[in-house]
Amino acid sequence: MDERKEMCPVCRNLGYVYFEDENGRTYSKPCKCTAVKEARKRLERSGLAKLFKSKTFDSFMTCGNPLLEDAKRTAMQYTESFAERTDSDSNSLLLCGQVGAGKTHLGTACSVRLIDQGIPVIYMGYREEMTALKAKVTDEKAYRDEMNRYKKAAVLFIDDFLKGKITEADINIVYEIVNYRYNNHLPLIISTEKTLDELISFDEAVGSRLIEMCRGHIIVFEGRKLNYRLYRGGVA
């Protein structure tokens, strides 16, 4: 992440702000910046900070491919107009299709931009986190806490959504997260190898909600020429 020591203009890094109620009593509450700091800390703990540093818009090479240029433009535009759509019912981003096309890269670049704008993004590596979640199922509190983190995050980036074998338990977890976020207009950033048709046929309730949430920001990678890894050349 960004290593600059940033001074929060609101709380001057105290982490909380004071406010007065109508009776003149003073209270304190956590400053908005604490959620961003928490998101950054979680990223660092997850070992993804390095990935997040390297997968920026600048390092996303389009090599003149119009489809990749369009994908990059759409993703950048998504972050630039993010604030205008906060409470809209289509404030999410879907990156889907072909393996190696740069979906994780663009999803990560968007997350970095949003975190830099002071919007906390929680990263969920689908396969690992689903396994971890299911392992917690016997510990009601730990399970609920983790589910709430994903359900209530200001922005949730699910990377490699629906990767691997999908069980009934997976569908239930995915539905609970997606449905909660859909009902509360909470944005998702999703990268997945599934096509739009596959998303719908996996589970119509989940698929149709996702497509509605991502309206206007659905990036589909298809076609042989799009294999981003082939274009990377010297870029690590």
The contact set with Zn ion (CB under 5 A) reads: 8, 10-11, 31, 33
Which residue number, 14 or 166, has a Cβ lying nearer to Zn ion?
Answer: 14
**How far apart are the C-alpha atoms of 95 and 52, rounded to whole Å?**
17
Q: In 3D, which of 101, 107, 39, 42 has the Cα closest to residue 74?
A: 107
Least spacing, CB of residue 32 vs Zn ion, in Å:
6
Which residue number, 33 or 110, has a Cβ lying nearer to Zn ion?
Answer: 33
Which residue number, 11 or 51, has a Cβ lying nearer to Zn ion?
Answer: 11
Least spacing, CB of residue 15 vs Zn ion, in Å:
6
Helix (H) or strand (E) holding 191: strand 188-192
Which residue number, 11 or 49, has a Cβ lying nearer to Zn ion?
Answer: 11
Q: In 3D, which of 236, 99, 78, 229 has the Cα closest to residue 157?
A: 78
Least spacing, CB of residue 9 vs Zn ion, in Å:
8
Least spacing, CB of residue 43 vs Zn ion, in Å:
19
Answer whether 121's CB lies under 8 Å from 39's CB.
yes
* CA distance readout (Å), 236 to 39, 54, 89, 163: 25, 8, 37, 24
Kindly report the CA angle at 176 between 201 and 178, in degrees rounded to 5?
A: 60
